[in-house]
Structure 1
Amino acid sequence: MELWQYDATDLARLIRTGQASAREAVDSVLARLHKVNPAINAVVRVLESEARAEAETADAARARGHALPPLHGVPVTTKINVDQAGLPTDNGVIPLKDLIAQEDSPVVANLKHAGAIIVGRTNAPAFSMRIFSDNALHGRTLNPRDPSVTPGGSSGGAGAATATGIGAIAHGNDIGGSVRIPAYCNGVVGLRTGFARIPSFNPTGAAAGRPIGAVLMATQGPHTRTVRDARLALEVMARGDRRDWRWNDVPMRGAPPARPIKVAIVPEVPGGKSHPAQVAAVRLAGKHLRAAGYVVEEILPPDIERCVELWHEICVTDVFGGLWPMMQKMGDPDGIAAMQAWLSIHKPVDLATYVSALTEREAMLFKWMTFMQQWPLVIFPTLCGLPPKQVADITPDGQREVLDSMRSALIAPLFGLPGLAVPVGSHGALRTGVQIMAMRNREDLCLDAGEVIEAAEGIVTPIDPVTAA
C-alpha cells in the first residue's frame, strides 16, 4: 500500500512512529497528484517546493525528539477562497488573481499548527457560488467518477482531490451545501460544521464585513475518506481565534443523549422530486442505524418547504445587494448566467420582508430545536437528485432543477446546524449518499452515526479518475 492511499489517522501514526517520513508522505502524494490531477483539475495551485521544504523541517523536528502535533507531516489541501499567507485568495475570479493574503485565515493556521503540510489549493466556481466547480481563471474540475456530471461545489476541487488520493484531508466551506454536495458527488465524507464551531473569517475581507446570511450560515469543514479523519480534522480545525466573535469554545463531545438515540429519516423531501436512488439511500442508512440499536422512524421535521423558501429569501437578497454587482463586473459568463437564473427564480425581497424572514427563521429554529429534543438526529438525502450534468445551471429551467435537488441541503445552513455527508449505496459509477444532521455543537452525534454507517458500507478508498469517452 502506498502512502497516498492511507487516511490521515494512519499516515500520522506511521510518521510519528518512524515507519514513514514526512518527506516520503509528501513525495507520495505529489506523485499521485501529478498522475491524476491532469484528468480532473482538482488542484489548481501545486505547492511542491513549499511542501517538500516543510516536510524536511517536519522530519528534522521528529529527529530532534520534539513533541509532534496530531497531523505531523500529513499532506492536505486548502480551497482557493480562504487566505493562505503569500498566496492569492483568488476565489476563481480573474481580477482577484493577484490578491495576495498577508496572513493565514484561522482554519489554515490551525491545519499548519497541527503539523499538516499543504500540498496544493483546490478549485471552486467564481466567488464560490455554484455547485459546479468551474471558472474562467482555473478552468473546470471534473468528477473522477463520471466527468459528465458535476464534482459538486463550491468545494468541488476538494471533494475530487480527496476521492483520488490527493491528500487525506481537504479543507472546504459550506453556506448552501458546499462541503456536503461535493462529498456526495465524489463519494467521500464531508463535514459541514455548525455555526461558530470553527473560526471562520478571511483577513483579506474581514474589514469589509459580510451580509447577515453569510454570518449566520457559512461554516468551514473537511473532506476526508474516513469518518475518523473527519473527527480528527474537526478537532484540529476548531482551535480558537478570538478575532472571530462567533467562535464557540465548547467540548468536542457533548452530554450523552437519552438511549436509544432516536433518528428521524426523511427519504422523500417535500417540495419537489426525489430520485429513487437517493430515497433508497436514506432508508438504507436508517436500516444500518436500526441494526446498531438506534430507533429510526420516517417522520417529517417542521415546515421543510418554508425553511427552503427562507434560505432563498435571505441569501438571494444578500447576494443581490452585494455579490451580484461584483459578479456582473468580475465574474465569468457561466457564473453570471447561473446567478442570473437563480435571481429570476427567487426574487430579492424588500427590507421589511427580509427582516421578517430573519425573524421567522428564529421562530422556525425554535420549532426545530423542540423537534430535535425528541429526535436528536435527522437524516436527509444530501441532494434530492443525482449529481447534475455539467453547467446545468446556466439556464432558468436547468437552474430550477438544480435548486429543486438542493432543497435538502439548505436546512442545515439556514439554522447553523452541523451535517455529515456519508456515502450510502451506489447508482452506476456514482455513490448515493445522505447527510446526518444534529443540533448545534453536536457534530459528535453525527460522527458517531456516520461511523456506524461506514462500518456497514465499507471505508472509502481512493479511486482512479474515469476519463471522458
Structure 2
Amino acid sequence: MELWQYDATDLARLIRTGRASAREAVDSVLGRLDKVNPAINAVVRVLGDEARAVAETADAARARGHALPPLHGVPVTTKVNVDQTGLPTDNGVVPLKDFIATEDSPVVANLKHAGAIIVGRTNAPAFSMRIFTDNALHGRTLNARDPELTPGGSSGGAGAATATGIGAIAHGNDIGGSVRIPAYCNGVVGLRTGFGRIPSFNPSAPQGRPIGAVLMAVQGPHTRTVRDARLALEAMARGDRRDWRWNDVPMQGPPPARPIKVAIVPEAPGGRTHPAQGAAVRLAGKHLQAAGYVVEEILPPDMERGVELWHLICVTDVFGGLWPQMQKMGDPDGIASMQGWLDLHKPTDLPTYVAALTEREGLLLKWMRFFQQWPLVILPTLCDLPPRQRADTTKAGQGEILESMRVALLAPLLGLPGLAVPVGSHGKLRTGVQIMAMRNREDLCLDAGEVIEAAEGVVTPIDPVRG
C-alpha cells in the first residue's frame, strides 16, 4: 500500500516508528495530488517546496530523538478562508488574491504544533457562502464520484481532496453545513465541532463578525476514518486564549446512562426527504441498536422553527454586511445564489432580530432537556441527494437546495457538534447521516460513528470519475 492511502493514525505511527519518513509521506501525497487534482481542482495552491522543507526538518527532529507530536509528518490541507502565514486568505474572491496573512489562524497554528505538514490549500466558493465550490479566482471543484454533482460547500475542496487521497486530514469550517455537506457529497467523514471547541478567528480580519457567525461558525476536519476525526479534533482544539469562546474542557465527557438512547429522524419535518436518505438514517439506527444502543424514531423540539430562526438570523447578518461585499467583489454565480436566498428569506428589523436571538436561547434550553433523555440525535446530512452543479443560481433551484439543507442548519443554530458519516449507497454515491449531541460531547458522536463505521466499512480513497 502506498503512503497516501493510509489514514493519519496509521501514517503517524509509521513515521514515529521509523518505517516511513515524513519526506516520503509528503512526496507520496504530492504525487497523488499531481495525478488526481487536475481532474477535480480540489487543491488550488500546492505547497510542495514548503512541505518538503518542513518534512526534512521533521525527519531531522526524529533522528535527534526529539519527542514527536501526534501528527508528526502527516500531510494535511487547509482551506483558503483561514489565515496561513505568508499566503493569501483569498476566500475564493478575486480582489482578495493578494491579501497575505502575516500570522496563522489558531486552527492552522494548532495543526502545525501537532506536527502536521500542510501540502496545499483547498477551494471554496466566493466568501464561502454556497454548497457549491466554484469561484472566479480558482474555478470549479468537481465531485470525484460524479462531476455533474456538487462536491458540497463551502469546504468542497477539502471533501474532494480527502475522498481522493490528497492528505489524510483536510481542514474545513461550518456555519450552515460546510463541513458535513462536503463529507456527505464526497462519501467521507466530516466533524462539525460544537461552539467554542476549536479556537477560531482570523488575525487578518479588520473587525469582529456578526453575532450569527460568532455563535454558529466553527472549524472541523474531513477524514476517511472516524478515529482520524478524533485525532484531528484533539490537535485542532489546542487552546488559544485570544478566542474568548474557546472551551477548556476535557475531550471525554462523563459517561451517559446505559444503554444510550438515540433519537433518529429519517424524515425531517418541513419538506421532502429522499427515500435513500431516510433509509440511511434507519440503517444507522440498526447498526447502533445491534451494538446495544436504544433507538427510537422521535422528533427533537421545534425543528421547523429552528430552521426558520437560522435563516432569520443569518440572512439579516448577511444583508447588513456580506451582501454588499458579494455584490462588489463576488462572481456572478455567487451573487445569484445569495440573491436567491435573500429573495426567499427576507432580512428583518432590529426588534425581530433580537427576538429571534432570544427565541434561539429558549430553543437551545429545550434541546438540552431533550438531550438529557436522548443523548444522540441522528438525521440525514442533507434531505436530498447532492444537487447538480450551479443548481442554486435560480430562485427555484435555491429554494429546493435550502429545503434539502434544513437538517444541516440545526447544529449551527444551537452551537452543537455534528458528525457526518457515510451510511449505505445510492448508485455511485454514498448516502449519509449526521450524528448530533449536546455541546462538548463530540466524544459521543465519535463513539457512535465508530460503531457505524465498523458495520459499514472504512472509507478508502477513490479515483475521480472523469466527466
CA shift, 1:38, in A, is: 0.1
Say whether residues 1:127 and 2:127 are aligned partners. yes
1:241 pairs with 2:240: yes
Q: Does 1:6 align with 2:6?
A: yes
Equivalent residues in 2 for 1:21-420, closer than 5 Å: 21-205=21-205, 207-420=206-419
Give the C-alpha shift of residue 466 in structure 1.
0.2
Between the aligned partners of 2:387 and 2:371, the Cα distance in structure 1 is: 31
Rounded to whole Å, the distance in 2 between the matches of 1:305 and 1:439 is 19
For 1:451, the equivalent position in structure 2 comes to 450
Q: Who is 1:19 aligned against?
A: 19
Structure 2 counterpart of 1:354, one-letter code: Y
TM-score by length of 2: 1.00
Per-residue CA shift, 1:245-296, capped at 9, x if unaligned?
0001000000000000000000000000100000000000000000000000
Q: Whole-Å Cα distance in 1 between the matches of residues 324 and 24 of structure 2?
A: 47
List runs of 5+ in structure 2 lacking aligned partners.
none
What do the CA deviations read for 1:365-419 (whole angstroms, capped 9, x no partner)? 1111111110000000000000000000000000000000000000000000000
**How far apart are residue 460 of structure 1 and its match?**
0.1
TM-score of the superposed pair, with normalisation by structure 1 = 0.99
Give the secondary structure class of the aligned counterpart of 2:18.
coil
Deviation at 1:424, TM superposition (A): 0.1
Query: Displacement, 1:354?
Result: 0.3
The secondary structure found in structure 1 opposite 2:311 is: helix
Q: Report the AA paired with residue 257 of structure 1.
A: P
Could you report, residue by residue, the CA deviation over 1:18-56 in whole angstroms, capped at 9, with x for unpaired residues?
000000000000000000000000000000000000010
- Say which SS state the counterpart of residue 385 (structure 1) adopts: coil
Alpha-carbon distance between aligned partners in 1 of 2:465 and 2:96, rounded to the nearest angstrom: 32
Q: Whole-Å Cα distance in 1 between the matches of residues 292 and 26 of structure 2?
A: 41
Residue 216 (structure 1) shift: 0.2
Number of equivalent positions = 467
Rounded to whole Å, the distance in 2 between the matches of 1:159 and 1:112 is 20
The answer for unaligned runs of 5 or more in structure 1 is: none
Structure 1 consecutive aligned stretches of length 4 or more whose deviation exceeds 4 Å: none
Report the residue type matching 2:139 in the other structure: G
Instruction: Give the SS at the match of 1:336.
Output: helix
Q: What is the distance in 1 between the residues matched to 2:390 and 2:368?
A: 37
Partner of 2:204, secondary structure, is: helix
- Partner amino acid for 2:315? V
Matched residues in 2 for 1:233 and 1:351: separation? 39
Which letter does structure 1 place at the counterpart of 2:449?
G
Distance in 2, matches of 1:367 and 1:51, equals 47
- How far is 1:184 from its partner? 0.1
**Deviation of residue 452 (structure 1)?**
0.1
Structure 1 Cα separation of the partners of residues 234 and 72 of structure 2: 14
In structure 1, C-alpha distance between the alignment counterparts of 2:203 and 2:391, rounded to whole Å:
34
Deviation of 1:162 (Å)? 0.2
- CA shift, 1:328, in A, is 0.3
SS for the counterpart of 1:233 is helix
- Aligned-pair distance for 1:89? 0.1
CA distance in 2, matches of 1:407, 1:281: 17
Please give the alpha-carbon distance, in whole angstroms, between the structure 1 residues aligned to 2:224 and 2:425. Answer: 16
- Cα distance between partner residues in 1 of 2:243 and 2:233: 17
| Letter paired with 2:76 | V
The secondary structure found in structure 2 opposite 1:352 is helix
Give, in angstroms, the shift of residue 97 of structure 1: 0.3
Distance across 1 between alignment mates of 2:49 and 2:300: 50
Give, in angstroms, the shift of residue 358 of structure 1.
0.3
Separation in structure 1 between the aligned mates of residue 160 and residue 8 of structure 2, nearest angstrom: 17
CA distance in 2, matches of 1:350, 1:380: 32
CA distance in 1, matches of 2:428, 2:99: 39
Following TM superposition, by how much is the alpha carbon of 1:347 offset from its aligned partner in structure 2, in angstroms?
A: 0.4
CA distance in 2, matches of 1:408, 1:38: 33
Alpha-carbon deviations, 1:145-167, whole Å to 9, x = none? 00000000000000000000000
Distance 1:314 1:410 in 2: 12
> What is the DSSP-based 3-state SS (H/G/I as helix, E as strand, rest coil) of the residue aligned with 2:419?
strand
CA distance in 2, matches of 1:156, 1:454: 22
Q: Distance in 2 between matches of 1:92 and 1:229?
A: 28
Calculate percent identity across the aligned residue pairs: 87
